[in-house]
């Protein structure tokens, strides 16, 4: 189906293809490190390969932690494991989309929060669950409840980028912003399809931050993915262990 969507939605396709969500079956199911750590199981297909018709035993062999692994159907190797229809339902419930009369004049509270097709394809039900039916998790940092943005679109991200049970921030695949970015939505920084973040810093940050520096040059995982300061979780105290310095007003 992706090739058909591509015909009309060229920009979305190009963005999706240049990002991590265009991962192929071979990238997800033949990863030597991952397969050696965790035994392949049917549940892997919940978050990638959800449209595969069959169980994991019909997809990869052998199902052990020693390998070498190969796809039962080699023709799947380069097919996308998170295609457009993983996140979009083509035939949504409700009235067909109408063209708004004067789009620019729609008052804020009447504007839509997200596109109607947005939802996760659930392979067990063989149905999409619309974003409005998906919960946002209650996240915790130790015992503290973490503030989380109410942006409903994130409920989709959390279905896959999920914490371990206990809902601790940064457990499992969780990236709930905490610290300096607590309360921001994933989509405040990540573009919808390619997930790039470059343009986002300047949409919120003045050229010089609290620190009197350009945040893009500061020591976070934005500048260098190996930085010890993960941009999702970094707190003032991580960089200022002896306390936040006083502002040098002269520079302003």
Site for ligand HEC in 181-200 (CB under 6 A): 181, 184, 186, 188-190, 192-193, 195-197, 200
Q: Is 34 in the site for ligand HEC (CB under 6 A)?
A: yes
- What is the closest distance, in whole angstroms, from the C-beta atom of residue 192 to ligand HEC in the complex? 4
Q: Which stretch binds ligand HEC (CB under 6 A): 63-71, 102-110, 122-130, 222-230?
A: 222-230
Q: Which stretch binds ligand HEC (CB under 6 A): 69-77, 102-110, 132-140, 238-246?
A: 238-246
# chain residues binding ligand HEC, by CB under 6 A: 93
User: Tokens 């399809």, residue?
Assistant: 193
Q: Is 218 in the site for ligand HEC (CB under 6 A)?
A: yes
Q: Is 88 in the site for ligand HEC (CB under 6 A)?
A: yes
Residues 110-169 that bind ligand HEC (CB under 6 A): 114-118, 120, 153-154, 156-157, 159-162
Residues 51-80 that bind ligand HEC (CB under 6 A): none
Q: Which residues are registered as beta bridge partners of 86?
A: none
Residue 105 or 246 having the CB closest to ligand HEC: 246
- What is the closest distance, in whole angstroms, from the C-beta atom of residue 32 to ligand HEC in the complex? 9
Residue 165 or 203 having the CB closest to ligand HEC: 203
Among 23, 76, 77, 136, interactor with ligand HEC by CB under 6 A: 23
User: Tokens 């996140």, residue?
Assistant: 87
């Amino acid at each position: 189906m992706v090739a058909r969507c591509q015909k009309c939605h060229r920009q979305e396709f190009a963005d999706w293809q240049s990002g991590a969500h265009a991962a192929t079956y071979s990238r997800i199911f033949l990863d030597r490190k991952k397969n050696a750590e965790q035994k392949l199981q049917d549940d892997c297909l919940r978050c990638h390969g959800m449209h595969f018709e069959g169980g994991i035993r019909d997809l990869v062999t052998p199902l052990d932690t020693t390998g070498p692994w190969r796809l039962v159907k080699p023709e799947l190797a380069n097919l996308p494991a998170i295609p457009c229809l993983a996140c979009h339902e083509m035939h949504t419930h409700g009235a067909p989309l109408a063209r708004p009369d004067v789009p620019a004049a729609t008052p804020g509270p009447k504007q839509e929060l997200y596109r109607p097709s947005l939802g996760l394809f659930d392979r067990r039900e063989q149905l999409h669950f619309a974003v409005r039916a998906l919960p946002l998790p209650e996240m915790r940092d130790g015992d503290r409840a973490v503030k989380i943005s109410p942006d409903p679109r994130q409920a989709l991200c959390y279905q896959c980028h999920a914490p371990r049970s206990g809902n601790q921030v940064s457990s499992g695949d969780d990236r709930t912003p905490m610290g300096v970015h607590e309360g921001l939505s994933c989509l405040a920084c990540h573009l919808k399809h390619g997930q790039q973040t470059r343009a986002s810093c300047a949409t919120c940050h003045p050229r010089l931050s609290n620190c009197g520096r350009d945040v893009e040059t500061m020591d976070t995982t934005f500048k260098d993915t190996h930085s010890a300061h993960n941009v999702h979780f970094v707190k003032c105290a991580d960089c200022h262990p002896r306390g936040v310095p006083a502002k040098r007003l002269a520079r302003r």
